[in-house]
Amino acid sequence: MCGIVGYIGNREVQPILVDGLSKLEYRGYDSAGIAVLERERLDVRKAEGRLANLSEKLDKRPLKGTIGIGHTRWATHGGPSDANSHPHTDMSGKFSVVHNGIIENYMELKEELMGKGVVFRSETDTEVIAHLMADLYDGDLVRTVRALIGRIQGAFSIGVITEHEPDKLVAVRQASPLVIGAGQGENFIASDMAAVIEHTRDVYILEDGDLAVITAEEITIMKAETGAPAQRKKLRVHWDVEQVKKGQFEHFMLKEIHEQPLTLRNTMLGRLGRDDQVTFEGLELTDKYVQGIEKIFIVACGTAYHAGLVGKAAIEKLTRIPVETDIASEFRYRDPIVTDKTLVIVVSQSGETADTLAALQESQRRGAKVLAITNVATSSIARDADYVIPTVAGPEIAVASTKAYTAQLIAFYLLAIYFCQAKGTLDDQERRDLVRGLKELPLQVEKVLENADEVRCFAESIKDQKSLFFIGRGLDYAVALEGSLKLKEISYIHSEAYAAGELKHGSLALVEEGTPVIALVTHQELYEKTVSNIKEVKARGAHVMGVTGEGNMDLFNAVDEICFIPQASQLFAPILAVVPLQLISYYTSLALGNDIDKPRNLAKSVTVE
């Protein structure tokens, strides 16, 4: 969480920083600020709330200069306010710091500094860095930052500038992402390459413990602890700049929902051979290793966890390898039974989620191999995992995840087939049927999207409801969980997902006249059972929207409204069933006038525990 950007070069820095922050706002949007060095004088502007508030301040009092740092915040220590916004400065105003992460020993450092007469102006952990820099400064910024790193504990990426040495910008990475953009006579730092690709396609990804000294002409990377040079590969980014723009869509979320036919195709591209064999380029899982797997754990957070629930079903059904799913923040603290015969699959769109990364490291410590399914091939999770399957969804900007989820499902389906090939548990015909079904999905999603207006009226009708239920059995339940999360996070309407048969064991008491219930009925073999559960809620006055496969016309008799999705095999139906739920969340929030791409209290990349 929090986004950092920095620039050093010959151009006016303010618009570059503000534009960079606009690309990083998804990481946090409680407040924003920039610090600029002009003729060896540091000046700072900050504003609580969205970046637009900062821009307004800057319009009135612009900052001039060609070196600067900026920050967009997701509050951890201290609420959103001007005072708690970054950049933070020391008492003399000569050092300015932006920080993403948490300084765990900040209280201890704060007391020490206060004992020396330092007066703190914010409640943040970050402010200690600025004061400590001033306290430790010995005439050499790099040496001082290295000394600072020896004093602070926790997860951080930091950018520092100072009036004392106005020709450089120093950046450090420790367990929080940071990239350096290498330009011509100008260089950049950013939490995510999205903030720099308009200016340069050449980036260095810093690794944990790296310190970078950046001037307009040069980038020097070393290990912060020893000062030894660190060789990092210069990477060329091939993202399309348009991908990080909204284009014709009102919101990134709607754009990303509509991109799904393409992102599903891209995630399959090159992975289905002529003979319908699944291959993953560069994945070195040997058949012998796969044959020896005794158990699989799928570990993730939020939407990625929900993808894992579908992944479990796919792997168990096709390979018969037992799979356990776990929420990453729980997994690492519950002494999981993980051995060298366990494969742990972590799923993460961003590849930076702190809990998921910690689960990965804990699994490796226990001797397991870890396979990552991630959308960011250069992320911490991708780099630490033993094996990586990239999803090819392109940058996902809206906080509510949509296209990353469906791409994760594709990755799981392909992986399950791949395991079967290694184990020899699927005959050719079964494999061909599965692959045919997979290939049909992008077109089928297009069809669902063509009927988006069908769910729009329903979405508008629930906007004033206090509470709502999603019900389903089997994989429909997994999709119900995702639909419920999506609705909560952007509409702020309370909702719960239930395994349809479980409702009567307590929660049915909450259903009353007019309670909206979204019932997923795509499991043909569980069809009658789910219909019985629908009747139970209808009998208590619920207003039911059914989501079902085309052809199930008789569901009309059991529900009030209906949304048809194309018929697909049970395993693949979640990809189709989730799309109307994504649209319902979107249109409900739109009707409520919410900030859809940046819902309250949330951030896209959760890099704190």
In the complex, the residues that contact ligand F6R under the rule CB under 6 A are: 301-304, 348-350, 353, 356, 400-401, 485, 489, 606
Please report, as a single letter, which amino acid is at residue 469: F
Task: Compute φ and ψ for 46, nearest 5 degrees.
Answer: -140, 155
Point out the residue whose Cβ comes nearest to ligand F6R: 302
Task: Give Dmax over CA atoms of the chain in angstroms.
Answer: 80
Judged by CB, which is closer to ligand F6R: 73, or 306? 306
Judged by CB, which is closer to ligand F6R: 126, or 356? 356
CA 488 → CA 122, 347, 410, distances in Å? Answer: 32, 22, 25
Alpha helix segments (H runs only) across 320-398: 328-331, 354-365, 380-384
Q: Reduced to 3 states, what is the DSSP secondary structure of residue 219?
A: strand
**Active-site annotation holds for 301:** no
Judged by CB, which is closer to ligand F6R: 526, or 578? 578
Q: How far is the CB of 306 from ligand F6R (least distance, A)?
A: 8
Q: How far is the CB of 251 from ligand F6R (least distance, A)?
A: 14
Q: Reduced to 3 states, what is the DSSP secondary structure of residue 140?
A: coil
CA 209, CA 488: separation in Å to the nearest integer?
38
CA 437 → CA 569, 570, 573, distances in Å? Answer: 7, 10, 10
Judged by CB, which is closer to ligand F6R: 98, or 490? 490
Task: Compute φ and ψ for 330, nearest 5 degrees.
Answer: -90, -40
The answer to whether the CB of 520 falls within 8 A of the CB of 471 is yes
Q: How far is the CB of 350 from ligand F6R (least distance, A)?
A: 3
Give the chain's end-to-end CA distance (angstroms, integer). Answer: 11
Residue 92 CB contacts under 8 Å (≥ 6 apart), including other chains: 134
CA 200, CA 469: separation in Å to the nearest integer?
47
In this structure, how many other beta carbons lie within 10 angstroms of the beta carbon of residue 43?
17
CA 517, CA 503: separation in Å to the nearest integer?
12
> Contacts by 429-432 with C-beta closer than 8 Å and gap 24+?
431/276, 431/277, 432/276
User: Helices 302-319 and 475-491: crossing angle, nearest 10°?
Assistant: 170
Judged by CB, which is closer to ligand F6R: 267, or 303? 303
593: burial class by Cβ within 10 Å (0-12, 13-18, 19+)? exposed
Q: Reduced to 3 states, what is the DSSP secondary structure of residue 574?
A: helix
324: burial class by Cβ within 10 Å (0-12, 13-18, 19+)? middle
Please report, as a single letter, which amino acid is at residue 350: S
Q: How far is the CB of 382 from ligand F6R (least distance, A)?
A: 12
CA 571, CA 546: separation in Å to the nearest integer?
19
Please report, as a single letter, which amino acid is at residue 27: R
Token pair of 112 as six digits: 């020490």
CA 384, CA 604: separation in Å to the nearest integer?
21
Q: How far is the CB of 607 from ligand F6R (least distance, A)?
A: 9
CA 245, CA 236: separation in Å to the nearest integer?
20
The answer to whether the CB of 471 falls within 8 A of the CB of 518 is yes
**Active-site annotation holds for 604:** yes
Q: Reduced to 3 states, what is the DSSP secondary structure of residue 309?
A: helix
Closest CA to 412 of 383, 389, 384: 389
CA 135 → CA 78, 94, 427, distances in Å? Answer: 23, 12, 69
- The catalytic residue among 2, 301, 420, 563 is 2
- The catalytic residue among 255, 403, 598, 604 is 604
Residue recorded with tokens 């933070």: 88
The answer to whether the CB of 71 falls within 8 A of the CB of 18 is no
CA 468, CA 462: separation in Å to the nearest integer?
8
Catalytic residues: 2, 604
